[in-house]
Structure 1
């Protein structure tokens, strides 16, 4: 049986075979605990972690000691938000974020609200971009942290990090960004962008699941309250035995992505535009998010005149695609990101999130476009036929023709 074409890379990506190869020695021969300092196995693992930390730091313009390994971006986000809140609550209890953030940012913010913190959730413009004046107007003397996602996980929109960072630093407010979707896809530089905290993960760029990192600015010093206590690993900020094989896989994935960044960005953008050119030939296909300020392989559309659940059901045997965040796929509510864009609930529910990745081909994109267009047309025809059917008047027993 032919497997569906995978176009859901914003949810996760397959682990690149080159990454798997780099990881394997640390699952077998070099399996030591990096904290074991009395023998060869521990030294080997420690050396691998050190090299990986240097690779990740170089990728974002940081220093190795500013990289703290976590289980993923969700943990990194929680450490950043809760860690800052606990460390700086005497200075202020006001946090600013954006309505379209990932739930790994929104839920910690709601938790902090239950503890007495005040959170301002900024709106976005119709193209998904934050209006900088809204941020400036929201800043207060008691604001301690601003958290804005680098690249949105549903619509791929890229926020102006450098401009946001300048505003935050001018007001002496810490700036955190969730860059889980951005690392390895666009250039990142924490110094040039005035970023104090940056959350990262491996499985969005062909690395293993279960490993991420948090960049924490060291100069000038930034205080952070640990959220996991134990053996004191990672400068006491994140205790727990370090998974050497996953760390090596993470750094290898980042290294490969940066090496291929320019070529892949151009290729993915061409394929994305090819897909969009086909889809927009149909009436009632609406692009979600800014047309150009987004990730190269990202395309999110809403479809008028179809039921969202029926659309996904009609595609699932041929195309692996989603209607929103994978972390919220079990929810019946429409995407909070699309609602924030101003989409009506029915239209937000009838959306498709495409992510074109490293292993997708032109042939697959053409097949995808054809399948999606045929499915939409079939659903619209079926819906119209149903609307045009005679309805039975239950009160009189007579059949009446209903034209809607």
Structure 2
């Protein structure tokens, strides 16, 4: 099967430029393909992961990936469908974030072998670029008349409260030059990105043609959304990050495990490397017995192992099973440390005795102390897996000398750190 057919069947291509010619070229020889990301934070999140997994699929098919970290473009800010200009950040911060993203990206792709991945940073060609060259040799190829008609620009120009700066307006030229530069220096012939990047990708294709007579290609991927229309990758507590210190492996695992039945097949196709036939088999089993959540378990395992490794997956799975069974005393000190970084509210207790009602209220398990007292008296609250009717939390409740896990039902928890 042609790699483009596989990507189409997985739902990973939205818009593609000159598909027939690209298909023929990829059938003849391996090509270089790039995907870029600006270091706008100190970690990638699972939305970033989507196109870079596609880059890995292309590498697995024999093509050569180039990862571009936008150390320069991050200082300008991509206005594509953004409601406001990106906050200006210190260059030192951008450099640090570039290094952190680089570390994460190098774990996703192979940097060895005949089609080893390459890593580049556009600071290396923009930092010393003369303004005269940018205006004369790049800017002359872009029509302002056409640029202001782009949907991403129009939405900002029509916003009386938040217009668009010249810095942002120039972003399309910068990203366009990235592609032209990578074609000229690396013979890179394909760029991929999210659906919001289509205009910038087309700009790069046109600039490469005008500067170097190049015939290059691009495709975008659809915006990943849930079946209910909500943006994928967000929870009530925030973004799902790849950095285990920002989103613990346990929380990461739980996110995928809690995928809805309506979304799980789409996510198996987009976020795992399982053959389509294997996905069809597990979905058939899932349809027969959805209560077993076999598809969700497979999704959570594959993605957690990919990002955090087998050991972290095994730990997250074990913590989940122990919490479900109520066997809290079996959790290790390291397990509690991971839970303290999870989406479980942590309450610090600095007294030898503390009101359990206060902990429940601070831990967001109840809305009032009267509700807390009612739940305690009706045996609905457990401390470390055991029903608790006494109204106090004491040092004797601390497992490993520090932690107590309070639960309401099987899925609502808060963690008390007893000092």
TM-score of the two chains, using structure 1 as the length reference: 0.25
- Higher RCO (CA 8 Å, separation ≥ 6 residues): 1
Q: Pick the structure with greater CA Rg.
A: 2
Higher helix share: 2
Return the TM-score normalized by structure 2. Answer: 0.24
